[in-house]
């Protein structure tokens, strides 16, 4: 008993430096951030306590509201389009055919390219006198071609499509790993029982794939909620607020409008929102997971 207690205190002693550093550089600033979220602070003058004003204003701030609208669109698109497409792609890439290895690499390749590089390349391809309009012009006529990132109607849909270019390959890879972990003897047993085609997918593949579905949905939802880099680099939220996302709205509130207190409040609220969404989503998908 004495020895156990001694070991306990020694363990605590070893943990202490790490805890102190973590506390100083994470918890203390975090608590400070909570304080700043109740202040008006431009980073230069001393913060002025304004109570809940920052939190109240978030719900009437056009940039935040448009950011929320676009972020939810992104989440919905990820769930309804990206995931099924990624699963379909994984099912195709799981089959045996000659160019399988090449295609697997090709679909994964976008993930390893830096987002800054990606945004520059896509920015060039999509510009008014760029590659895509060069192809479209003879087909649909000059009057119909667009500055895809420069109109309120096309800027955010274009960004959504660009995120799919990277996202689908990544999610497909996770699904592919899941598919390959399903034991083949289950399929053989089902085959003997007479199960074929879609019935195999519905009753064996999908239930066995649920852990992967959980991961992919989690990554899709959190990735969509955190969408920042592409709109920041390609449009900076414009034109107007048409391509704002929640994170971009928070960033611009801090570094463009210099409302650090307000941005901190929005950041805290956003973090809480993400935690809630994640807990709900994980709760739903985990229930459907099948234990082997």
Partner 1 sequence: MKLKGWSALASVLLLTTVMSACGSNNNDGGNSAGTNNGAANNGAANAGTNDGAATNDGAATNDGATNAPAANDKEFTIRVGAWFLDERPYMVQFKKDVEEAYAKLYPKAKIQWDVVLGATYFDKLKAQFASGSAPDVIFYQGADIAASGNLADLSGEPWVNRLTDGAKKDMQTHSGGKTYGVPMGLSIGGGVWYNKKIFSDLSITPPKTAQELFDAADKIKASGKTPITLGFKDQWTAQMFFTNWLNSYTIDNPTLGKDVYDGKVKIADDATIQKVYTNFEQMKEKGYFNKNAISIDWPQSGQMFASGEAAMIVQGPWMPGANVDNITKGGFDKFDIGFFPLASDDGKVAMTLGSNEALGVNAKTELMQESKDLVNLITTSDIISPFMAGDGALTSFTDVSVTYADPAMNEVQAAVDGSTVLTSQFISYLPASAVTNMLDSLTKVVSGVKFNPGDLKAAQSSLEKDKATVVLPAE
Residues that bind partner 1 (CB under 8 A): 25-26, 28-30, 32-33, 36, 40, 42-45, 48, 53, 57, 60-63, 115-116, 123, 126-129, 147-152, 226, 228-229, 232-233, 235-242, 247, 250-260, 262-264, 267, 271
> Cβ(169)–Cβ(109) under 8 Å?
yes
Q: What distance in Å separates the CA atoms of residue 21 and residue 42, rounded to the nearest whole number?
A: 28
- What is the closest distance, in whole angstroms, from the C-beta atom of residue 172 to partner 1 in the complex? 24
- What is the closest distance, in whole angstroms, from the C-beta atom of residue 258 to partner 1 in the complex? 5
- What is the closest distance, in whole angstroms, from the C-beta atom of residue 221 to partner 1 in the complex? 16
Q: What distance in Å separates the CA atoms of residue 200 and residue 188, rounded to the nearest whole number?
A: 10
Q: What distance in Å separates the CA atoms of residue 99 and residue 104, rounded to the nearest whole number?
A: 9
DSSP 46: P
Determine which helix (DSSP H) or strand (DSSP E) holds 120, and give its type and residue range: helix 115-126
> Cβ(38)–Cβ(49) under 8 Å?
yes
Q: What separation in angstroms does the CA of 247 have from each of 5, 7, 215, 263, 275?
A: 47, 45, 22, 10, 15
> Cβ(218)–Cβ(251) under 8 Å?
no
Q: In the Cβ-directed half-sphere of 40, how many Cα atoms lie within 13 Å?
A: 4
Cβ neighbors of 204 (< 8 A, separation 6 or more) are 182, 186, 187, 190, 195
Nearest to 233 by CA among 218, 223, 247, 221: 247
Sign (positive/negative) of CA torsion 109, 249, 226, 18? positive
Cross-strand bridge partners of residue 40: 48
């Amino acid at each position: 008993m004495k020895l156990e207690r001694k070991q306990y205190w020694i363990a605590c002693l070893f943990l202490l430096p790490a805890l102190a550093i973590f506390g100083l550089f994470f918890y203390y600033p975090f608590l400070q951030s909570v304080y700043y979220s109740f202040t008006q602070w431009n980073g230069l003058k001393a913060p002025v306590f304004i109570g809940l004003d920052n939190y109240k204003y978030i719900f009437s701030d056009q940039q935040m509201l448009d950011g929320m609208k676009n972020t939810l669109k992104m989440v919905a698109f990820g769930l309804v389009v990206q995931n099924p497409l990624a699963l379909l792609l994984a099912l195709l890439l799981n089959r045996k055919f000659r160019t399988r290895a090449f295609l697997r690499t090709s679909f994964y390749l976008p993930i390893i390219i830096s987002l800054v590089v990606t945004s520059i390349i896509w920015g060039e391809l999509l510009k008014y006198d760029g590659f895509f309009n060069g192809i479209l012009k003879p087909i649909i006529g000059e009057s119909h071609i667009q500055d895809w990132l420069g109109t309120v109607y096309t800027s955010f849909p274009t960004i959504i499509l660009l995120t799919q270019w990277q996202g689908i390959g990544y999610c497909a890879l996770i699904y592919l790993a899941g598919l390959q972990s399903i034991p083949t003897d289950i399929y053989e047993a089902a085959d003997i029982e007479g199960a074929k085609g879609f019935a195999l997918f519905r009753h064996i593949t999908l239930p066995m794939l649920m852990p992967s579905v959980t991961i992919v949905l989690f990554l899709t939802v959190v990735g969509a909620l955190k969408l920042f880099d592409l709109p920041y680099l390609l449009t900076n939220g414009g034109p107007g607020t048409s391509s704002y996302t929640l994170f971009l709205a928070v960033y611009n509130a801090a570094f463009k409008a210099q409302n650090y207190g307000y941005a901190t409040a929005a950041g805290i609220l956003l973090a809480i929102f993400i935690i809630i969404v994640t807990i709900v989503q994980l709760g739903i998908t985990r229930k459907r997971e099948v234990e082997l």
